[in-house]
Amino acid sequence: MKKVITTLAFVFVCISSFAQQFSDNFDSYTSGSYLGPQSPFWTTRSGVEGGDADALVSSTNTYSSSNSIYLHDQTNNGTAQLIRLNVGQVFEEGVFTFETALNVSAGQSAIISLMGNNTNYNSLYTFHCQFTDGQATSVSGGTNENLPVFSYPQGTWFRFKVEANLTLHLWKVYVNENLVGFWTNPVNKIACIDFMSAYTSTVNYEFYIDNVHFIHQNYSLSNLNAIVSLVKMDNDLLGQQVSTEVNVLNAGEVPITSFDLNLFYQNQIIPMSFSGLNIQSLETFSFEVPGVSLAPGDQVYTVKITNVNGVLDDILDDNILSGVAGPIVPAPGKMVVGEEITGTWCQWCVRGIVFMNQFEEKYDPYWCGIVIHSEDPMNYSEYMTGMNGYHLGGFPRALIDRWHDVDPSGMSPDFFERVQVPPVATIVNGATWDAATRVLNVSVTSNFVLPAYGNYKVACVLTEDEVTGSGPGWSQRNAYAGGNYGVMGGYETLSDPVPASTMVYDHVARVIAPSFTGMPNSFPNNVQAGDSYTTSLTFTLPAEWDETKINIIGMILDPTGKIDNAGRSTIAEAVANGYVGSTVDMPAIDLTHVMTVYPNPASTSATVNLEIAQLSNVSMRFVDFAGKVLSEKDFGSVQGHYDIQMNTSNYKAGVYFVELTVDGCTTAKKLIIE
């Protein structure tokens, strides 16, 4: 049982019938001991205090006076430290303000989350902010947009504050009292505050907190009050035409029927007028101001509303909102690759579908998406094996140029960083296509614009868009059905699962050649700017693949295995570019004629027919729909015709896959057992 300590070090009181507040500077606790057993207000996510998941009181690095709390992941046996401050109740109205002093060690990370439920960590988080290498990114479980991205000082103390008007759904974030983020949050429940040092193989966590404080106060509406609650002119790519999203919130008691607006950007003033409206109390009116071409440098934009219902409204200070748009300048010839793992069985993976499509629509030609399916009819085991080498933390998850793994909703920071990095070479894909034989010859030409030293490699990926199917495994699980987890690109209006007849899958990885790690000796060890090298490949496409929906993605990998650059084209575009004679040849890859499976469906037995045209390393696996390996055989280095008999009488009726790997390239055939 916890010992309740009465001291001025922390206070948790109602200061009136209209406010409740809490403060803790940790100075009354024993340094070197765990926090949980010493405080009636602090616990851990699991509720187990005084162990690996708890955090230590420390006197080593403090913001004020004698103690702070130290969280890290260095010596905790792979266990994440997560301490939790319960706020006493679930607040859903009023103004909740949370503030703490924070010191994130240089090059390290920290996580702070405001949660709407203190009994289930996996429930919807209200606000989740991760601090890494001087930049903080934040998301809410109720929006499909990244929230504030802002800078903070590394290795020194700073004040971090979140001010949430839960009644109006308006949230603000401050660093050292400077406003760094302002948005409308569809999720407005606060039950606890979590401070976490996760444990991963790619991110290190080490930080201190001190002087934690929160206060909750009631909030009353005025009579007539319009608030500019959101202006979203992204720090996007230079020259893009952007539509500025604006939200006007009725924070008064009477309906808003009209208002005027001006958007100021550079030397432009864009006026708009709205009439005949009926914005009820606490409702938000969303609209877009016609596109503005983003100009170089950091430019201030301002939105101001006037003449609300033909008069001045009650509070003028919130009728104006400003921000800074700093367009990002892509490096010439740069294409960033996002590789995402997913599965139709994964209820959260619709988030990946939404964000991969958004990036494709918004950032072409600087973005290329590849979606690797696991344990479903589009399963690609070899590619998944390569992705698993990055120890990705669950589904959906994405690698951006194979630098960092992120949730697909958080790809923007890495994309913006990588798109500015000059590539060593630009990529041009050429091709010939024979519709009768379905043979696709591809040339990947690397035109070096910078010197390159070491073992750079070429890889080539084929993806297919608009993939559909019927039967088991083609329906998409959907956690967002019913809207309980907020808006997610329209999936909140669909069922769980989404029927196969409704689903269309894009960016589906079909083949990566010659392997996930690319082809060794693609180039000399010393390449000079101006040099060009071409790698050629030959594919034979299965009849069920639609060649008009195939994308050819040539990639160049740096000596560490990260993606330096890519080039994407359709087959028609590559044919128009022209096939280039090869300086380096990859093995021909026949994706259709090397294996047939019959009868299909099967009952008691099936035959797998292999035709290996040239001496190759061959292996085969038989897996169930969940990806469990039921049998496997390594043939070694072989060539010729093989008939392999399979006894299927002992297997339950369902969908299975026969996977064949030839010289590192894998293809799979579906086998239905009745």
Size of the chain, expressed as the number of residues it contains = 674
By the 10 Å C-beta count (0-12 exposed, 13-18 middle, 19+ buried), 662 is classed as buried
DSSP assignment of 31-73, as one string? TTSBSGGG-SSEEESSS--SSTTS-EEESSS-SSSS-EEEEES
Q: What per-residue confidence (pLDDT) applies to 672?
A: 84
Question: pLDDT tens digits for 578-601?
Answer: 998 756 555 555 555 567 777 878
Residues 518/500, Cβ–Cβ less than 8 Å: no
So what's the pLDDT on residue 51? 85
| CA distance readout (Å), 209 to 99, 206, 642 | 10, 11, 66
pLDDT above 70 for 79: no
By mean pLDDT, which of 181-195, 209-223, 312-326, 604-618 is the weakest?
604-618
Question: 672, 646 in Cβ contact below 8 A?
Answer: no
User: By C-alpha distance, which of 328, 324, 325 is closest to 238?
Assistant: 328
DSSP codes joined into one string, 436-465: TTTEEEEEEEEEESS-EES--EEEEEEEES
Distance CA 32, CA 29 (A): 9
Comparing 202 with 648, which gets the higher pLDDT?
A: 648
**Can you name the residues that pair with 660 across neighbouring β-strands?**
620, 667
C-alpha distances out from residue 587 to 255, 431, 442, 515, 517, Å: 70, 16, 12, 11, 15
Q: How confident is the model at residue 103 (pLDDT cuts 50, 70, 90)?
A: very high
Per DSSP, the three-state class of 355 is: helix
pLDDT surpasses 90 at 521? no
Can you say whether residue 412 is alpha, beta or left, with left for phi > 0 and alpha for psi between -120 and 50 degrees?
A: alpha
Between 277 and 642, name the one with better pLDDT.
277
Please state, in angstroms and rounded to a whole number, the distance separating the CA atoms of residues 172 and 423: 38
Q: Is residue 304 scored above 70 in pLDDT?
A: yes
Look at 555 and 300; give whichever has higher pLDDT.
555
Please report the pLDDT score of residue 464 as a whole number. 97
Helix (H) or strand (E) holding 357: helix 350-363
What integer pLDDT is reported at residue 434 of this predicted model? 93
Does residue 70 surpass a pLDDT of 90? Answer: yes
d(CA 44, CA 445): 55
Judge contact between 614 and 462, C-beta under 8 A.
no
Confidence tier at 149 by pLDDT (50, 70, 90): confident
- Output the DSSP codes for 202-246: S--BEEEEEEEEEEEE----BSS-EEEEEEE--S-BTT-EEEEEE
Percent of the chain whose predicted confidence (pLDDT) is above 90:
53
The predicted model gives 506-524 an average pLDDT of 91
- Confidence category of residue 635, pLDDT binned at 50, 70, 90: confident
For residue 664, the model assigns a pLDDT of 67
The fraction of the chain above a pLDDT of 70, given in percent, is 90
Q: Which of 146, 165, 467, 138 is nearest to 318 (CA)?
A: 165
pLDDT confidence band for 658 (50 / 70 / 90): confident
State the CB neighbour count (10 A cutoff) for residue 531.
16
Look at residue 3 and tell me whether its pLDDT is greater than 50: no
Task: Record the pTM.
Answer: 0.58
Strand partners, 306: 260
The CB density around residue 241, as the number of other CB atoms within 10 Å, is: 10
- DSSP H or E run through 269: strand 268-274
Q: Is the dihedral of CA 455, 456, 460, 466 positive or negative?
A: positive
Q: Please compute the mean of the pLDDT values over residues 556-566 and round it to a whole number.
A: 96
User: Per-residue pLDDT averaged across 16-43, rounded?
Assistant: 88
Residue for token pair 């008939």? 643
Residue 653 clears pLDDT 90, i.e. is over it: no
Answer for the pair 282, 251: CB distance below 8 angstroms, yes or no. yes
> What average pLDDT does the chain have?
87
Predicted local distance difference test score (pLDDT) of residue 163: 95
Per DSSP (E only), the strands in 81-205 are 81-91, 95-104, 109-115, 125-132, 135-139, 149-151, 158-165, 170-175, 178-184, 190-197
Residue (of 179, 255, 194) closest to 71 by Cα position:
194
Residue 134: both structure tokens together:
């001087």
Minimal CA–CA distance to 448: which of 520, 380, 531? Answer: 531
* Mean pLDDT of the region 142-152: 69
pLDDT of res. 145: 54
User: Which of 189, 185, 199, 110 is CA-nearest to residue 155?
Assistant: 110
The answer to whether residues 602 and 651 touch, using CB atoms and an 8 Å cutoff, is no
Instruction: Express each pLDDT in 386-399 by its tens digit.
Output: 998 888 878 999 99
Mean pLDDT throughout 357-380? 93
Chain centroid to Cα 468, Å, comes to 24
Query: How confident is the model over 212-258, as pLDDT tens digits?
Result: 999 999 999 999 999 998 888 766 888 777 788 899 999 999 999 99
384: nearest Cα among 371, 368, 393, 400: 371
- Most confident of the following: 122-126, 145-149, 463-467: 463-467
pLDDT of the residue at 588: 56
What pLDDT does 9 receive? Answer: 39
Who wins on pLDDT, 6 or 480?
A: 480
pLDDT above 50 for 2: no
> Cα angle vertex 401, ends 587, 336, to 5°?
95
Closest by CA to 173, choosing from 569, 165, 83, 451, is 165
Containing 576, the helix (H) or strand (E) segment is helix 571-577
